[in-house]
Amino acid sequence: MTTANTDQGPVVFVLFGATGDLAKRMVLPAFYRLETEGLLPKQWRLLGNGRGDIAHEDFRAHFHDALTESGVTPDPGQWDAFAKQLYFAGGGFNTDSPGSLLDVLARARESIGGDPQLVHYLAIPPVAFAETTKALGGHGLAEGARVVYEKPFGTSGEDFRELDDVVHAVLDEQQVYRIDHFLGKEATQDLHMLRFANESTAAFWNGEHIESVQIDVPETLDINDRAQFYDATGAVLDMMVTHLFQVAAEVAMEPPASLGALDLQAAREEVISCFRKLDTGEVLLGQYDGYRDVPGIDPQSNQNTFVAARLWIDNPRWRNVPFYLRTGKMLAVSDQRVSLILRQPSGPLSGKLPRNGNVLSFCLGGDGGIDLSMVAKKPGAGLDLDVAHAPIPLDSLRDADPLPPYVRLIHDVLTGDRSLFTRPDGLAAVWQVADPLLSNPPQVITYQPGSWGPAQAAGLVAPGEWLVGQ
């Protein structure tokens, strides 16, 4: 178990949308994991907020159900002590009315004593971000608070700018935590350490040695449990301009002056500003057959459930190196992988080596992992070559205690560490990169569930191939 945050002051954590799907699947289990890891402060309260008028006991039962549905069976003794810190403030929350939140919050502050840090987590639909932010300011809940925004932070460049103006009219930038759980993955830290702590990899981390980069996140999942949300976003907004672009920035950034929040964020946003605007001729969109039959989906919907794109980064380190991005629903397998494909060396074996024989890949799922493939001679009398793999499962390291992304990021919010959260300048650049695709998208191509998406996606990486699934 991790050492408790005994030096951390008291916290009141307000969870907007506390009975919604996102909170149930991600936030509530993550918060309880912080308790089991000893990462919550000595004094804390969690206040759920929603439109319904729910008794504290009923919210505690809802929280417990969320844990059991996620596969967690709370220890009865630990749960009893934990549940006493959970409260619910109903009646909604907007600029016209705070519901019962101010009253419940006042009692929570009084019970803790002192001046607890206020953290607001907006696990609500993005369309409600602006109104809730204005309400925080209007009801006196913004000063000194930390405010967490789920993605997507905007749905277009114009929408982003409008939301950003509202947020900064109420909050200072240092109070804002725009969450992207891919940045909270253990593998994100693996990328940093492998590159910046090892000269062997730092030496080839550039276009002179790397032929291409693949960021591949296929999913077998459907969208049945979030149909309305998905039909308003699609794979492009839900995954590519959020998660995949941020992972590309993690791979491509210049070495920061330090791994502190300001330096790390600056390096990430600087390289995003070098992303070239997408060429829609280098993007493929797909929709799985049967998507329009899902309850809640417009029968005429043209929304994408698959996207594959070629991204270029116009700086000296990565010029002319393609970054291939792919993600989609109802595909053949689920995986989350970054692959750096090295160029074939010149010399006596030039042209005789197996393609993609030298690849460094990172598993972004679970606890993370690294795999290095190298060309080797098969033992025997002949000079037969094959590809050997050297896996490095990071959870096998001594005293490893990996944290799921939401646990890591909520802990960072509680401690005030903004290293793994996005900044507005980087998001503004992302929307510029995606603008050609959003304003004039290519035709959506139908693909069969359980396939690898539209067959045309294979041509995007030709003469190579997508490594996941090969």
The pair of structure tokens assigned to 318 is 């990565």
d(CA 94, CA 228): 23
The Cα-based distances of 407 to 254, 376, 425 in angstroms read: 27, 41, 26
Token pair, residue 217, equals 């996140």
- Is 68 within 8 Å of 441 (Cβ atoms)? no
Q: Give the H or E element holding residue 451.
A: none
- Give ∠ CA 269-202-462 in degrees, rounded to 5: 75
**Cα-based angle 209, 420, 329 (whole degrees, multiple of 5):** 75
Mapping DSSP to helix (H, G, I), strand (E, B) and coil, where does residue 293 land?
helix
Q: Which residues, other chains included, contact 115 with Cβ-Cβ below 8 Å and sequence gap of 6+?
A: none
Q: Cα angle vertex 288, ends 282, 290, to 5°?
A: 155
Between CA 258 and CA 265 the distance in angstroms is 10
Q: Say how many C-beta atoms besides its own lie within 10 A of residue 347's C-beta.
A: 7
Active site residue 56: no
- Distance (Å, whole) CA 23 – CA 104: 20
Angle between helices 424-439 and 245-252 (to 10 degrees): 130
Are 459 and 323 in contact by the 8 Å Cβ rule? The answer is no
Q: Which of 64, 120, 181, 243 is catalytic?
A: 243
> Structure tokens of 395?
């959870």
The residue whose two tokens read 């799985």 is: 288
Which uninterrupted H or E stretch holds 44?
A: strand 44-49
- Answer positive or negative: Cα dihedral of 421, 219, 325, 465: positive
User: Cα–Cα distance between 211 and 219 in angstroms, integer?
Assistant: 26
User: Do the bridges between strand 210-218 and strand 323-328 make them parallel or antiparallel, or are there none, so unpaired?
Assistant: parallel
Cis (ω within 30 of 0) for the bond into 463? yes
Instruction: Judge whether 141 and 116 are in contact, CB under 8 Å.
Output: no
Task: Give the E-state strand segments of 179-275 in sequence order.
Answer: 210-218
Q: What is the Cα–Cα distance from 40 to 35, expressed in whole angstroms?
A: 6
Q: What is the DSSP letter of 224?
A: G
Angle (deg, nearest 10), helices 56-69 and 28-36: 80
Active centre residues (catalytic)? 243
